[in-house]
Structure 1
């Protein structure tokens, strides 16, 4: 008897790490999970230095967005969406800026003062700075 097991392509493929990125003028070099979660949930509207934070995200259905939310913020994408919807519908806040792909994410973060977003390694370049997660 021969037993054959198959691994899913997801399990076989090593997923690229996702990095928190910011506009080059952001003075903050590291964020803890709670602060990053508060910024991406749009509850905290400034960087720890006091500079206004401009949040950029990919669509909820994007696998990079889902991985970032789960791995770096310890929340599910639908939880972020619920928080954004609650603020928008109650008039107490706004949703983050939505971008179509990682190339647009890099471009918008690089050109928007105070911007924060996330990118896989292959999309990183000198136009954005990586923010460490503490």
Structure 2
């Protein structure tokens, strides 16, 4: 029942919000123990250059598909990058063997599920979430 209620909530939010006014929130698992990041720090996490939270917890980065509207908004508004710039960084790291790439999820519900269940997880959603295992991180 809990999953279907979450899915229904996400569906209602997507129908109520016009696509142009969707907000983007940086969300992390509570184990991150952090309330805010600078834009540069957020960029470093999502380009896979920072691998641990300040408390030492290993990060797990989750993103949506490059063509997903929320991913494009996140890259532009939060990171100050274009999605193709992120993809270039990830591809370079992957093909050169010097780093890893984020885990791609198919939709916001999967993102929410992964963020809740994975210590160190970080990702983004189109709405604030009230859940004891998650925290909204302010990007300055």
- Post-superposition Cα deviations, 1:88-129, rounded to whole Å, max 9, x if no partner, equal 00101111000000000010011000000000117x231421
Q: Is 1:65 equivalent to 2:50 in the alignment? A: no
Q: Is 1:87 equivalent to 2:93 in the alignment? A: yes
RMSD of aligned residue pairs (Cα, Å): 1.5
What is the distance in 1 between the residues matched to 2:20 and 2:93? 36
Task: Report how far residue 49 of structure 1 moved.
Answer: 2.5
Task: Report how far residue 13 of structure 1 moved.
Answer: 5.8
- Contact (CA 8 Å) 2:31, 2:57: kept in 1 or not? no
What is the distance in 2 between the residues matched to 1:13 and 1:114? 30
Q: Which 4+ residue blocks in structure 1 deviate beyond 2 angstroms? A: none
Q: Could you say which residue in structure 2 is the equivalent of 1:4? A: none
What is the distance in 2 between the residues matched to 1:78 and 1:92? 19
Specify the SS of the correspondent of 2:21. Answer: coil
Q: Is 1:125 equivalent to 2:102 in the alignment? A: no
The TM-score, its normalising length taken from structure 2, stands at: 0.82
Task: Report how far residue 24 of structure 1 moved.
Answer: 1.8
Call closer, same or farther: CA 1:107–1:13 in 2, change over 3 Å.
closer
Q: Could you say which residue in structure 1 is the equivalent of 2:39? A: 33
Gaps of 5+ in 1: 1-11
Name which of structure 1's ranges 36-45 and 14-23 shifts more when overlaid on structure 2. 14-23
Gaps of 5+ in 2: 1-17
Call closer, same or farther: CA 1:120–1:91 in 2, change over 3 Å.
same
Task: Report how far residue 16 of structure 1 moved.
Answer: 1.9
The TM-score, its normalising length taken from structure 1, stands at: 0.85
Give the structure with higher Rg (CA). Answer: 1
Q: Could you say which residue in structure 1 is the equivalent of 2:9? A: none
